[in-house]
Structure 1
């Protein structure tokens, strides 16, 4: 698709949809306009002429005058149906639905290949930060070693309120909901599932590894304990929800979403409120840092606008890394991580046999108990105690790394 003028079929006219309309009105150079909008709520007052709106998705999907489908609804299942049919109908698609993409990425990549129709989704990763296209194009021939970042603005807002302002988790969540940064049902964000969906996209464009969300360990911030918060403060560290993917020396990839203690010297320590931040480490370009707003109408709409602009000159993802790195696999059992585990009940205490090394232990009936230790990433994901009531797991200030065998460890300690 190469056009100087494009007509958009827009699904959804909520916060981001209205933001896109406003941005298009202020960007006449793009020569893009919204031709029709599909919505669900028949009773909601609209700010645009009623003839622009329809309640039938086929009015957009079957309209030959619409060049691009922009999908901005919050229902992943419905979004999948819309995006799939649009591609099959030969219409280019721009979407911000990271859950839908993560759950159907292999099929959607194959659909693009078979139909020759592009699907772009810059807004699905880190809103205003141009992450996907940079990973896809700038680092095309560079050997990327790792990518790590704060990719969920809602949880970062909550953690900022806890770390910087001393609020409790409950108070910080309530404030985030009041300001519109968190949903009334915030589980997708606070349980780390949204960050996990975005990590699926980052894996595909960083390493060419296509994984499912269920393949990745995700621990959210909903279980962060007062003891973990106090431990971080005493160490002069901040807790951030970090998604990380790292190439291991033997060739596998370690990837997970974990609350993480971040040192003041780390780039992510200064990513506050609803902002996102991403750090890439590569063989030739070394270390680079991206910072930008990770939530809100205009930041997300700006990424959609960028994708629309890219479509006018025929851009599409080539997924060359997937072809080049077909041998790559997730290797959680070849990786290990240092963690702080706090618990309130001895019955739910972590099994020390799961750890390669236990470094420190503390027991207190009043404050709660904790241990620190090194554990295999795969073992942590399988641990029965991980999801028990009163258990909080926070990664210590060290990256995911290749596991050290017991003989090697003993030799190192000797």
Structure 2
């Protein structure tokens, strides 16, 4: 049944305005934004009586039956979403940090209050990957989900490798276009990809993992030496998240830069686009591709969730509820490229074996096998070191 939706919208930034725009272009959807909650008063394109300044006004408004949360502050988003669910209202959210850090609780709140929380826009922008994992890949044949999950960092890397721009210039361009924030750490240091991967893991394998327990490292330490090395070897660098099913009912996940060859699907995922490769036991590899940054692409994903709410759709968390639970293991080995300058930094890395190494006055690198567990033990120190890490192609099957 396509029921009438009266929407309370929290946030009117790039995504909120993008959603409002695409809603006006969707006459078939019986939905109307009644009120928009913002932080500050200022001149906007909509009438002033459309706005309020306390989320309580949205939650306590009996006419509103759907809360759409599109703010950047994860703590505020948590309060809005949990209070809305407890009040019996359905919710759509795009806040991947809030969802990833509180997913177990949010799943229980939906069940307890018989409401729906949808968050397709939190994962891969315009790509409907969560819904596909829920509905199409709703069995235990899934082996891995691997992909470029952050459009901002991918845009930067595309400008570096396709247009020969430096990191600082590419970052500034991404910021000017609204793909990266003034403080870009959330994107370029891998946090955004980490939170998305945690969410995808729950819908892929039914396992809720704390982001704190997952290895992640971004591209902010990339140097001209690393870029030159990749180009000379015929690689591109991409920031990639992966969750993979291991033997004995275990999974492994991490977010790291990767050296990618031309024969891989994600090699040609450029600019602000995302690309996700889903591998299964019976169907081998399937590839999904779409814009992962920008107001309208993300707004369209939110619109898709609103449409689903109109048809009483809920996530069933099928892997979590109907299949044997898989445990997250901080085990396994990967081969990495490590560029370093100081021997003191090198001593932090416990390589099991070295397959290639280079030394000069300015820079050194080693390529070798290392345990994921050993990298996790120093993950909080990695960004402070004068190093860069990338997974080599030998551990990249996609």
Contact in 1 for aligned 2:334/2:369 (Cα 8 Å): yes
Residues 226 and 57 of structure 1: CA distance in aligned 2, closer, same or farther (over 3 Å): same
- Who is 1:266 aligned against? 264
Q: CA deviation at 1:351?
A: 4.8
SS in 2 for 1:172: helix
SS in 2 for 1:338: strand
- Who is 2:74 aligned against? 76
2:321 maps to 1:323:
yes
* Superposed CA offset, 1:346-389 (max 9, x none): 2222456x1221111111003x0000001111112214874452
Counterpart of 1:398 (choices 385, 390, 394) is 394
Contact in 1 for aligned 2:93/2:118 (Cα 8 Å): yes
Deviates more, 1:384-393 or 1:98-107: 384-393
Structure 2 CA distance for aligned equivalents of residues 350 and 317 of structure 1: 46
Q: CA RMSD in A?
A: 1.5
Counterpart of 1:389 (choices 377, 385, 388) is 385
SS in 1 for 2:394: coil
SS in 2 for 1:339: strand
Structure 1 CA distance for aligned equivalents of residues 383 and 170 of structure 2: 23
Could you list the structure 1 runs, at least 4 aligned residues long, displaced by more than 2 angstroms after superposition.
Answer: 323-327, 383-389, 398-401
SS in 2 for 1:124: helix
- Who is 1:348 aligned against? 345
Structure 2 CA distance for aligned equivalents of residues 115 and 27 of structure 1: 30
Q: CA deviation at 1:137?
A: 0.8
Structure 2 CA distance for aligned equivalents of residues 328 and 141 of structure 1: 13
- Who is 2:40 aligned against? 41
User: What are the residue-to-residue correspondences of 1:239-318 with 2, within 5 Å?
Assistant: 239-318=237-316
Deviates more, 1:266-275 or 1:342-351: 342-351
Contact in 1 for aligned 2:140/2:323 (Cα 8 Å): no
Q: Where does the alignment leave 5 or more consecutive residues of structure 2 unmatched?
A: none
- Who is 1:4 aligned against? 3
Deviates more, 1:226-235 or 1:94-103: 226-235
Contact in 1 for aligned 2:237/2:257 (Cα 8 Å): yes
* Superposed CA offset, 1:57-82 (max 9, x none): 11110111111000001110000000
* Superposed CA offset, 1:316-366 (max 9, x none): 001121124453111122x111100001122222456x1221111111003
Contact in 2 for aligned 1:86/1:92 (Cα 8 Å): yes
SS in 2 for 1:129: coil
2:361 maps to 1:365:
yes
Q: CA deviation at 1:143?
A: 0.9
Structure 2 CA distance for aligned equivalents of residues 36 and 326 of structure 1: 43
* Superposed CA offset, 1:108-164 (max 9, x none): 011011111000000000010001000011000251100000010110011111111
2:334 maps to 1:337:
yes
SS in 1 for 2:242: strand
Contact in 2 for aligned 1:142/1:285 (Cα 8 Å): no
Structure 2 CA distance for aligned equivalents of residues 205 and 235 of structure 1: 36
Q: Where does the alignment leave 5 or more consecutive residues of structure 1 unmatched?
A: 402-414
- Who is 1:196 aligned against? 194
Structure 1 CA distance for aligned equivalents of residues 247 and 223 of structure 2: 34
Counterpart of 1:206 (choices 200, 204, 207) is 204
SS in 2 for 1:181: coil
- TM-score, normalisation: structure 2: 0.96
Structure 1 CA distance for aligned equivalents of residues 153 and 289 of structure 2: 16
- Who is 2:105 aligned against? 107
Contact in 2 for aligned 1:148/1:245 (Cα 8 Å): yes
Structure 2 CA distance for aligned equivalents of residues 400 and 380 of structure 1: 18
- Who is 2:160 aligned against? 162
- TM-score, normalisation: structure 1: 0.93
Q: CA deviation at 1:20?
A: 1.0
- Who is 2:146 aligned against? 148
* Superposed CA offset, 1:279-316 (max 9, x none): 00011222100000001111011111111111111100
